[in-house]
Structure 1
Amino acid sequence: MSKNRRLAIRSGLTIGDLAARTGLAVSAIRYYESEGLVHPWRNAGGQRRFERADIRRLSFVMVAQRFGFSIARIREVMQALPDQRTPTAADWRKISTGFRADLDQQIAALEQMRDKLDGCIGCGCLSMKACALYNDGDVAQKNGAGPRYLLGDTPPDGDAK
């Protein structure tokens, strides 16, 4: 083991080391710290030091964001990870199981939306009786904002695709 490697293990990783290992900008790491996703400690000189496990934590954050998860959701699931030790495979499996359910719901919603849009894209007819975008008198607003019938709500007459 090289002297530099022994020193990094004993004294923690600098923010620059962490940036180099994760590919993140130093400013992004600081942001993730401010969001409570990593918890560096300070050495005697007041410099941030990170655990080696933070490489994996930040890698997880990057992947989760690519899947569309919000920082708030990522923070919520990461709270289940231990702070005092490196997360084990079982710790990560527990998190991935919850994310899998979320991803399955997102995939189902996207497939449903794709299938409903097939009848609309390029159609041009805008049949008011069968159009999933038509919302006569804004009656769908009672269920929330957005294209309610495309999001899965059924119109009062049940005719939208």
Structure 2
Amino acid sequence: MTIGQLAEITGVPASAIRYWERHGLLPPAERQSGQRRYPPEAAERITVLRKCQQAGLTLAEIREFQREQPRRQAMIRAKITEIEQRMVDLDHAHQLLTHAVQCGEEDIVRCPKFREQMAAWRAPDPTP
């Protein structure tokens, strides 16, 4: 398929596809009459690239992700730890905003219920 067809199927601009190809994240396309021609699995590779980006992986991490399994394990473990921390942070932000929308205190920091919640956030996690 052409780069335009690949862009349409994946919803990714052709410029991004060319960029990923230049930086080694997509295998180089074959050329026919000067036009890039991609195999059907290129769309699957782009789906993986987009999911990696959505997970917060940098281009260098995505490149590492595509290497042999032993080489990528450390990066993946570190990224999982980072994502888990972001999930905790997002949960705290959700709790804060949910409470704030219902709280009758003029200054949320003075709210006893919110102060209890903040103390719980600062407490060390009892699970190993």
Normalising by structure 2, report the TM-score. Answer: 0.58
SS at match of 1:60: helix
Match of 1:41 in 2: 30
Provide, for residues 68-97 of structure 1, a one-character-per-residue CA deviation record: whole Å limited to 9, x for no partner: 0001110112134xxxxxxxxxx9xxx79x
Task: Say what the alpha-carbon RMSD is for the aligned residues.
Answer: 3.2
Provide, for residues 136-161 of structure 1, a one-character-per-residue CA deviation record: whole Å limited to 9, x for no partner: xxxxxxxxxxxxxxxxxxxxxxxxxx
The counterpart of 1:106, out of the listed 82, 87, 90, is 82
Question: Is 1:70 aligned to 2:58, yes or no?
Answer: yes
Distance 1:107 1:46, change over 3 A: closer
Equivalent pairs counted in the alignment come to: 96
**Residue 106 of structure 1: CA displacement?**
1.5
Distance 1:115 1:49, change over 3 A: closer
**Residue 41 of structure 1: CA displacement?**
1.4
**Residue 109 of structure 1: CA displacement?**
2.6
Partner AA of 1:50 in structure 2? Y
Cα distance in 2, alignment partners of residues 21 and 102 from structure 1: 32
SS at match of 1:37: coil
Match of 2:48 in 1: 60
Cα distance in 2, alignment partners of residues 115 and 22 from structure 1: 31
Percent same amino acid at aligned positions? Answer: 31
Cα distance in 2, alignment partners of residues 58 and 29 from structure 1: 8
SS at match of 1:65: helix
**Residue 102 of structure 1: CA displacement?**
4.0
SS at match of 1:36: coil
Structure 1: 4+ residue segments shifted above 4 A: 111-118
The structure having more radius of gyration, on CA atoms, is: 1
Cα distance in 1, alignment partners of residues 51 and 35 from structure 2: 27
Cα distance in 2, alignment partners of residues 115 and 28 from structure 1: 32
Question: Is 1:21 aligned to 2:15, yes or no?
Answer: no
SS at match of 1:42: strand
Gaps of 5+ in 1: 1-12, 81-90, 125-161
Normalising by structure 1, report the TM-score. Answer: 0.48
